[in-house]
Structure formats: C-alpha cells, structure tokens
Amino acid sequence: MLLNMILIAGLGNPGEKFKGTRHNIGFKIIDHYQKENHFPDFQLKEKFKSLLSSQGNIILAKPQTFMNSSGKALKKLSSYFEIEKIIVVHDDFDLNLGEIRISKNRGSGGHKGINSIMTELGNDFTRVRIGIKPEKKIENLEKFVLKKFKKKERKLLKPVLERGRRILDTIIDKGSDKAMNRFN
C-alpha cells in the first residue's frame, strides 16, 4: 500500500439529471483536473461508493452517495487507504459566481455535504470552495443549487476550472497555507 496518500474529492450528485448543475461544480473541477493532469479515466468502485482515478499517491474521488451523504464515501476511502491529506472541492453559495476560496479546519457553513464529511471524519481537511451565488436574490436555495448553469454563467466558469486545477496543484506541492496565501 502506498503511504502519504492524498485524497481529492469533488462533491456532487450522481446521474445525468444532475450533470451541469451548480451543486456539481466539485465534480466539474475534478474532471478538469483529471483530464489536464493525464489521470486515467474514472472507474466506479462500489466498495468505496465512488468514481475513482489515481496516479502515484493521489486519488481523485467523485462520491456517488449523493451530496448529503458524501462523508460515507470519504470514510470508506480513508479507512482503506492511508490518507495523509484530504482536499474537498465543492460549491459555496456564500461566494459570488466564479470566486474561489481555500479554507482549512473550519465549520461547514451550512453545506450538507461538508456536514456529512465532518460527521464521519471531523474537520481536519482542506476545502476548495467554488462560488455559485447569483447576482439576483433567489427564493429557494435547494432548488437553485440543483439547476444547471445558464450559458452566460458557463462562460464565466471556464477560467475557474483552470484556476481550480492550479490551486489543487499548489496545495499538493506546497501545502494549504501557501495556497491560501497565494490564491485567497
């Protein structure tokens, strides 16, 4: 078994119905990272309730448990592999669309996927929070996060994918604190 494993989990909901939704921006960032860094294709691993791709000491995971139960998949992965560092990429309604913030050892901010991870593993992990907050006020947050990005919004998100990849590389190579100093 490899030591010093790094687990990078992108949060989202499985299935075609949720593809391209705001809640699935974590999956989108992880897909971009996988492609740009030449990781193998994702494979469904039922044992871990996740789509996985790995290269060297890095495991990319897209939990297939639905957002609000993400912690169950991450716990299975953490129990099996000797994980030294966990990085979670997810949507954040408190940040403007396209904004990215890195945080470490913080509360969930009401994010149910992060609540699930904290319930299973505590809060000793790094979060890459991707802003999805719209310009206009919305009435129902739960409906909003399950809607697909509009064409105009998708254009704004293209540079976010690359910035997310650079942030992940920096966290891996130099640590969370250096990444926060550079990108926050």
Q: What is the pLDDT of residues 112-164, one digit of tens each?
A: 999 999 999 999 999 999 999 988 888 888 889 999 998 988 888 889 999 99
Tokens found for residue 74: 């991450």
Domains of the chain: 5-177 (3.40.50.1470)
Question: Looking at the predicted structure, is the pLDDT value of residue 108 above 90?
Answer: no
In this prediction, residue 25 carries a pLDDT of 97
In this prediction, residue 89 carries a pLDDT of 98
> Which H helix or E strand runs over 128?
strand 126-133
The answer to whether the Cα torsion of 35, 93, 62, 18 is positive or negative is negative
Please, which pLDDT band fits residue 53 given cuts at 50, 70 and 90? Answer: very high
Picking from 26, 6, 37, the residue whose alpha carbon sits closest to that of residue 131 is 26
In this prediction, residue 1 carries a pLDDT of 52
Global pTM reads 0.95
**Mean pLDDT confidence for 14-41:** 96
23 is a catalytic site residue: yes
| Contact yes or no for 67/13 (Cβ under 8 A) | yes
In this prediction, residue 124 carries a pLDDT of 93
Catalytic residue (one of 23, 32, 90, 111): 23
The residue type of 58 is I
| Contact yes or no for 27/63 (Cβ under 8 A) | no
Q: Give the angle 158-162-167 at the CA atoms, nearest 5°.
A: 135
Judged by DSSP in three states, 102 sits in strand
**Mean pLDDT confidence for 78-91:** 95
The residue type of 131 is G
Tokens found for residue 66: 């639905």
